[in-house]
Amino acid sequence: VRLICGDASTAGPGLKYKKIKTIRPGKFFARRQEIACGSYVSVPFKSALAWQDGVNFEAYIWPTRVGGCVQTIFSHLDPDGKGVELSLDEMARPLFCVRDDTGKKVNLVLDEPLRNHEWVNIYCTYDTQS
């Protein structure tokens, strides 16, 4: 089957799928995977990132409440505010912010906002030599 919508909640559009032809027909194991809106993890700050040559960061996100306020996806800042941060701005646009040891601050923001309940792969890279 092709999953069109996996939101089976009563507030959502419901579970929607379509049977499709496959090269290898048969029955296969599947499992339910709950997604908690607003879930997060907090990791104690141990040390600054070692990023003499730059930094790469990738995240798969599923926005649940886009727009209206800044939402942090990833933040690794030292007590002085140096480090990297990925967030959604007030208009739901991905914003990648880098603050390096020299005091240089770089903000990169996409033109298009993200949509609610749509998986997005975000890949950020910052080259200190550029």
Model confidence over 100-119: pLDDT tens digits?
777 788 889 999 999 888 88
In a domain, 109, yes or no: yes
Q: Tell me: the pLDDT tens digits for 29-77?
A: 878 777 666 666 666 666 655 666 777 888 888 888 888 888 888 888 8
Number of domains within the chain:
1
Asked whether 111 and 64 are in contact (CB, 8 A), the reply is: no
In a domain, 28, yes or no: no
* Rounded average pLDDT over 12-41: 76
Q: Is residue 79 part of a domain?
A: yes
**Residue 92 contacts residue 114 (beta carbons within 8 Å):** yes
Q: Which amino acid is at 47?
A: S
Read off the pLDDT band of 20 (50, 70, 90): confident
pLDDT confidence tier of residue 126, bands split at 50, 70 and 90: confident
Domain span holding position 66:
38-127
Q: DSSP label at 3?
A: E
pLDDT tens digits for 78-97? 778 888 889 999 999 999 99
Cross-sheet strand order for the sheet of 105-109: 71-77, 83-88, 94-99, 105-109
> Is residue 3 domain-resident?
no
- Confirm whether 14 is domain-assigned: no
Q: Taking the model in full, what pTM does it have?
A: 0.61
In a domain, 116, yes or no: yes
Is 95 inside a domain boundary?
Answer: yes
- Does residue 18 lie in a domain region? no
